[in-house]
Amino acid sequence: MTYTAIKLRRNLQECAKRLAKPIRNAASIGEWLRILDRRDMAMRIEEQPMERVELKRVASMLKESRMPNRVSTESNSGLAEAPQLERTAGQGGQSFEGCPLCGQTGAHEWLSAPDRMHGRQQNYTLIRCSACSVVWLSNPPRADQMHHHYTDAYHKLISAAGETSPWRWQSRKEELTRYKQSGAILDIGCSSGSFLESLRGESWELYGIEMSAGCAKRAAAASGANVFVGDILEAPFPRESFDVITCSDVLEHLYEPRQVMARVREWLKPGGIFYIFVPNIDSAEARVFGSYWCGLELPRHLFHYSPASLRYLAKSMGLEEVSLVTRRNPAVGNSLRYFFDDLFRALGISRTPRAHLGEPSLPWRVTRKLVRMTILRFLLALAPLAGGGEAIHAFFRKGDTGSGAGLR
């Protein structure tokens, strides 16, 4: 037997010893994933050059703690200076003062996870507000360092998802026309302009905001829209310019959601519509997969919203709810991949991170399609038992009088 084979067998035996007993006692796949979460966290701690006393203290905390059963991209438009959050010691661990949305104290640590898309090992900590339920990233990377996390591989993956899914934009267009059929429309974080392109040639005057100059150029060419390149808060649009503002997979990337929401309200005409689409932190997949849920997208997603926290944010800024629903937007395959990446890593086997995967082979695409048509459909039928849909679709309206500006 070769040295590599002997090493692999020993790693497998050690992994089996660690996991066998708790997995036998696991009541569900969610509990199984949380067990692996704890093992993964413990292994990451063991890899750090800590003093013995500190290692013993952290290991004891991990042993006593329980992973929570709930957790919570197309553009990084609107990156501004990160808010500074003050911390104070609290009963049972750290308590974090000053929720960025509601200002209430008493927030608590939610979970920790790495950037699984790029296969990186640095852990990031999420904090959850007990009052409004929003979750945010503690100590996020500075805005001038975010380019390390928005890699070319990431942009390629995200842009491809938008450009190869015309049905996605068609369905959103149909939803929008229930409330507005024409006028001036602004797409915040328009990326390469797929949504704006779907509106071209109709009775819409098209505008966009995009941080990436390359994406903005493609958006303008594809849609004919007037696209501002830069930060959302620096866009020079006059007050009450738009009948509709849309924001798909963007709000979760922003450092200052309240300021951006205030700017949205300022730009809307009286009676104007704001359509927003964000991942749902209280979704079935988020609850089942925990830190393996692909919707976390750490550290690119700075805030994670539930229906309750999104309602609070909009209402606090003077916008009226028209419609808010959660819908299935399954990405079970990506979440499972992150889970198996860690499992193989525990066995000493390194896999190519999702961000750097090439085009899947034809046999794999056929197999994936069959799984989606059979096993995945069955799991989706059971998903409502665990939580809401993975995506929040919401429409808000600015009052006809324009009064009620956002105050907490």
Global pTM value: 0.75
Contact 328, 383 (CB under 8 A): yes
What one-character-per-residue DSSP string does 22-87 give? HHHH--SHHHHHHHHHHHHHHHHHHHS---HHHHHHHHHHHHH----S-------TT--PPPP--E
The 183-188 sheet, strands edge to edge:
226-229, 204-210, 183-188, 242-248, 268-279, 391-398, 319-327
Q: 372 by DSSP, 3-state: which?
A: helix
Backbone angles phi, psi at 186, to 5 degrees: -115, 125
Residue 137 pLDDT:
97
- Nearest 5°: the CA angle 392, 396, 397 is 170
Residue 112: CB atoms within 10 A of its CB come to 17
Contact 172, 277 (CB under 8 A): yes
Which of 203, 207, 268 lies closest to 242, judged by CA? 268
- What's the token pair of residue 321? 């709810």
Look-up of token digits 């969610």: 30
Contact 280, 305 (CB under 8 A): yes
Domain ranges of the chain: 1-67, 68-408
Which of 357, 347, 294, 337 lies closest to 113, judged by CA? 294
Contact 72, 295 (CB under 8 A): yes
112 strand-pairing partners: 125
Along the 408 residues of the chain, how does pLDDT read in single tens digits? 544 444 544 554 454 445 444 434 444 444 544 444 444 444 333 333 333 333 333 333 333 333 333 333 333 333 333 333 333 333 334 556 689 999 999 899 999 999 999 999 999 999 999 999 999 999 999 999 999 999 988 888 876 665 556 667 888 888 999 999 999 999 999 988 999 999 998 799 999 999 989 889 999 999 999 999 999 999 999 999 999 999 999 999 999 999 999 999 999 999 999 999 999 999 999 999 999 999 999 999 999 999 999 999 999 999 999 999 999 888 888 999 999 999 999 999 999 999 888 777 777 677 767 776 776 776 666 667 778 899 999 999 999 865 444 444
Residue 21 pLDDT:
45
Q: 394 by DSSP, 3-state: which?
A: strand
User: Measured between alpha carbons, how far is 302 from 138 in angstroms, rounded to an integer?
Assistant: 8
User: Measured between alpha carbons, how far is 351 from 342 in angstroms, rounded to an integer?
Assistant: 9
Residue 86 pLDDT:
38
Which of 170, 181, 388, 188 lies closest to 274, judged by CA? 188
Residue 382 pLDDT:
67
Widest pairwise Cα distance in the chain: 79
Which of 99, 81, 159, 69 lies closest to 316, judged by CA? 99
User: Measured between alpha carbons, how far is 270 from 239 in angstroms, rounded to an integer?
Assistant: 10
Contact 233, 256 (CB under 8 A): yes
Residue 163 pLDDT:
58
Q: Which CATH class is domain 68-408?
A: alpha beta
